[in-house]
Amino acid sequence: MRRRRQSGVVLLVVLALVALSGAALALLAHSARTMQLAAAEASLEARLDCLLASGRAWARQQLARPGGAKPGTFALDAAALKVPGATLTVTVAAKPPAAAAVRIRAACRHGHRTITRERLYVLPAPHRPPRGRP
């Protein structure tokens, strides 16, 4: 009987397919990691936007109280807002009769990444009807 010599063509094709599928999996893993980081960044940005809005609402509420808001720096409880690893500080400047300057500083942490935003708002004084006769 005659034996045929087999060349290694089939083995080379199999090895090439394994290498190609490995490269495709590495590309997919890199893409998934990039999407995960982008989602975490977007989540932190959304949390910061919510914290800034909460600080602004708190300042408006304080300004609407009789006598207005006291000037000073106030650290609000960010844990009550269900934002883990966050801080929220509101600074109310001395209030002129027409408007108040409010500086809101929010920081949010996720893992080793911390993002901090600081915004300055000029909030108008709430309209109060004059006392006395109508």
Q: Are 29 and 91 in contact (CB under 8 A)?
A: no
Total domain count for the chain? 1
Looking at residue 3, what is its pLDDT? 63
Q: pLDDT category, 112, cuts 50, 70, 90?
A: confident
Q: Is residue 77 part of a domain?
A: yes
Strands (E), the chain: 72-76, 86-92, 99-110, 113-124
Q: What is the pLDDT of residue 130?
A: 62
Helix (H) or strand (E) holding 60: helix 9-64
Q: What is the pLDDT of residue 36?
A: 93
The rounded distance, in Å, linking the Cα atoms of 94 and 97 is: 10
Q: Identify the domain containing residue 67 by its residue range.
A: 9-124
Is 1 inside a domain boundary? no
Judge whether 84 lies within some domain: yes
Whether residue 69 lies inside any domain: the answer is yes
- The tens digit of pLDDT for each residue in 19-35 reads 999 999 999 999 999 99
